[in-house]
Amino acid sequence: MLKRPCQIFLFFLCYAAIDGCHSTPEKGVIHFELVNADAANDSLSVHVADYKEDFTQWKAVYEQCMHDTLFPDAFYLGLQTNLGIGSISNQIEQNINKQITVLDTSAKGHILDIIAVNNSANCFSKINLNKNLQDSFYNELIRSLKNSGEYKYLSDLVDTNRITFRISTLIDYSIRPDTLVHILQRTNDSSLLYFKQILTTPGNVLLVRAGMIFGFYSEFHLKRKLSSEEVGKFKNEVNFKSGDHGENGSIKLLANQNLQVLINKNYTVFGQFYLFK
């Protein structure tokens, strides 16, 4: 999953640099503009295998779940875990600002002053996926199971011929860019001043709006029959940790003898980017 997002950023940031650096902003005043996705998405569709089909498939999932059209100038990012709202990137590095974020509420701030929740929905129905997207979810499932401690052996028992996926919650939320500029123009906080420096560096863009899923469910048949001990354990549902950043999941045996695995992990699927200068 790492190679594809890097390719995407390499392409669209070239367009961002060309389209966004013609004018010189007034000194001392931060200006911002939306990165136009049309030309970049056309180029990505030509140069990145499966981009157009994957974009179209996920767009349909988004619109069916949200009962609304996908937000404009959206870039498809795959099941992206390295980027979240407020991440700054360029064609060389993703999430340059890392732990420095404008969403920190420790300085008597209120997160709703800068964040707008545009839409959200619980989407528990089965989603139809092409092979490429099916493989993406499968890889995430196996990665999580392999990090599940005593249950990692289940990663070798998944029957790929009888497996389905459902996303849990989908949210569309954004940073208010005018509020962000207001904060950065007036701050004396050293961390935010550094954030401002990175943000306004030519070639860098900020992920301002995100279409994100909060994990997914997978139901699958097993390659072998469970022991009576395993049946007793999984009937009651078991929980596991699968990462160092709060990722976790659960495993439950269903009445049809399939296993249901819930992966609680945030994935950014669509992004809208802004240039600040």
Residue 12 neighbours by CB under 8 Å, 6+ apart: 35, 37, 40, 44, 75, 273
Per-residue pLDDT tens over the stretch 186-242: 888 888 888 999 999 998 999 999 999 999 999 999 999 999 999 999 999 999 998
Displacement of CA 193 from its chain's centroid (Å): 26
Greater model confidence, 42 or 136: 136
Distance CA 177, CA 174 (A): 9
Confidence label for 8 from pLDDT (cuts 50, 70 and 90): low
Distance CA 258, CA 126 (A): 15
**Mean pLDDT (the chain, rounded):** 85
Distance CA 22, CA 2 (A): 31
Mean pLDDT, residues 139-152 taken together? 95
pLDDT at position 2 is: 39
Per-residue pLDDT tens over the stretch 53-84: 999 999 999 999 999 999 999 999 999 988 88
> Which stretches of the chain are assigned E, i.e. beta strand?
32-34, 75-80, 88-89, 115-122, 158-167, 169-175, 205-222, 238-241, 248-253, 259-276
Distance CA 270, CA 212 (A): 7
In this model, does residue 3 exceed pLDDT 50? Answer: no
Distance CA 259, CA 163 (A): 10
pLDDT at position 98 is: 77
Tokens of 128: 């139809």
Tokens of 180: 């962000």
Mean pLDDT, residues 132-154 taken together? 94
**Taking the model in full, what pTM does it have?**
0.86
Distance CA 212, CA 85 (A): 9
Mean pLDDT, residues 251-269 taken together? 95
> Is the distance from CB of 54 to CB of 8 less than 8 angstroms?
no
pLDDT at position 1 is: 41
